[in-house]
Amino acid sequence: MRNVLILPCETRVREFDAKLLLACHAVGRGFDVIVGWKRSIDLNVLKLPQGIYVGKSVTNRNLLMFRILRRLGHMLTAWDEEGLVYASAEVYQQTKVGVEALNEPRCLFAWGEANAAAWRSVDGFAGTPIVTAGNPRVDLLRPELRGYFSGQAAALRAEHGDFVLINTNFSRLNHFFESQSRQRKLLEEGGDAITDDADPRLGWAAHKAALFEAFKEMVPVLARRFPHATIVVRPHPSENAGVWLDISADFANVRVIHAGNIAAWLHAAKVTIHNGCTTAVESYLLDRPAIAYQPVSSPEYDHYLPNGLSIEAVDLQSLEDHVAAALAGDTTVCPIQAAERERLARDHIASRGDVPACELILDGLAPYRRQTPHKPALSKRLAGVAAAEGRALFKRMAALVPNNPNHVAYQRHMFPPIGAAEVRSIVAQFGGLLGRFEDIRVTPWQENAFRLTARR
């Protein structure tokens, strides 16, 4: 049997806690688990015990790593961390899915039926089995685990008082590295690189640019309108926070912060403001209010799931009114709207029922786990070793190149250091809330990556 599960995480604040929860469940099913920083795991792929690797996305940027893993005898599965929220299936397929990468895994895990349907309708999809299981990030928001964030939320409220949380997602216009701001470059060049009239990238970039300007205008307006409340701007992990720091410099009640798991911030905030952001879905699952600020709208490019689970504000005046109501504690939703929102959520998230996503995922892995591990031919394994060493050399050299996504400063921004003691503390918190996981051993494996095993 395949008894090793490998869970790489690209963004610590988005993925790590959730995948650590999945790791704990997996140890309970008899797995040894390696979980942690994707960069560290992938650079040390030749040290990995043969196991089941769960990829975090299905773009063709993953192809080389997927093929290395297969040549080394690992079983490849995958889900898409960004497969829950998108404008349309067509835009999602063109921007987040590579056909070759989608066909590499032996099994795919979808957030829900909408995500699965988007994969099945990809031209060239080879019929890989799809398990609609949800995502461990959803499990962290279930009532039985909300206590995990209660201490963090209390600390945030103590530090910031009554605060309005603004989540931005403009990394393609305002990237951590200016050279990676692809939508800005596309707009500056007028779409010269696009030859297909059906390509959505230019229209999408123009829509995001209009929203970006509206959000930059919004922050000072709210700061003046609500001087006794704190306005917390939380940029996307890949964004350049400098833009928001410049905007907020003249306002004592505006703070630009990107730290900690978003769920704690959603717990603590009086209300969250966004446009098309996954955090609105998380707010809904936590029974917390979110406002979709939509001063410009587009049926082609708006993200209908998070916006549909939110209060709609179409201009600054309606936004101010909704924020004032939320600060006063009024976040009531009529029963018809509540029922429509729940139907929408269930269409997109498979684990809204009694069984958590972690258990559904492990159930989906069970048939593959029982299959005899594949032993690649020596020629294929040698090719995998050579490709792994070449990739590792490239990544380590690229880490020294300024403005490169592999640069060490950006990588550490995406996944700040974490030690084994902190990981053990998180496991203990999960165990205390769920009444299990007391026999799990946590040991360091590589930098920011850990091995979880049962105490024997």
Per-residue pLDDT of the chain (456 residues; tens, 9 = 90+): 689 999 999 989 889 999 999 999 999 999 999 999 999 999 999 999 999 999 999 999 999 999 999 999 999 999 999 999 988 888 889 889 999 999 999 999 999 999 999 999 999 999 999 999 999 999 999 999 989 999 999 999 999 999 999 999 888 888 887 877 888 888 888 766 666 666 777 778 889 999 999 999 999 999 999 999 999 999 988 888 899 999 999 999 999 998 888 899 999 999 999 999 999 999 999 999 999 999 999 888 889 899 999 999 999 999 999 999 999 987 776 677 888 889 999 999 998 888 999 999 999 999 988 877 778 889 999 999 999 999 999 889 888 888 777 788 888 888 889 999 999 999 999 999 999 998 999 999 999 999 999 987
Q: What is the pLDDT of residue 88?
A: 86
Task: Give the H or E element holding residue 110.
Answer: strand 107-110
Fold of 4-140+356-454: Rossmann fold (3.40.50)
What CA–CA distance (Å, rounded) separates 229 from 166? 13
Give the single-character DSSP code of 97. B
Q: What's phi and psi for 313, nearest 5 deg?
A: -130, 120
> Which residues are within 8 A (CB) of 267 and not within 5 positions of it... i.e. 6 or more apart?
146, 149, 150, 152, 153, 156, 286, 288
Q: Token pair of 180, please?
A: 């990676």
Q: What is the pLDDT of residue 192?
A: 67
Residues of the chain with CATH 3.40.50.2000: 145-348
Burial bucket for residue 235 (CB in 10 Å: 0-12, 13-18, 19+) = buried
Q: Dihedral sign for Cα 83, 85, 90, 91, please.
A: negative
Q: What is the pLDDT of residue 195?
A: 61
> Which residues are within 8 A (CB) of 8 and not within 5 positions of it... i.e. 6 or more apart?
35, 36, 37, 38, 41, 42, 53, 54, 55, 56
Pick the CATH number of 145-348 from 2.60.120.380, 3.40.50.2000, 3.40.50.720, 3.40.50.11610: 3.40.50.2000
Burial bucket for residue 294 (CB in 10 Å: 0-12, 13-18, 19+) = buried
Q: What is the pLDDT of residue 118?
A: 95
Q: What is the pLDDT of residue 204?
A: 82
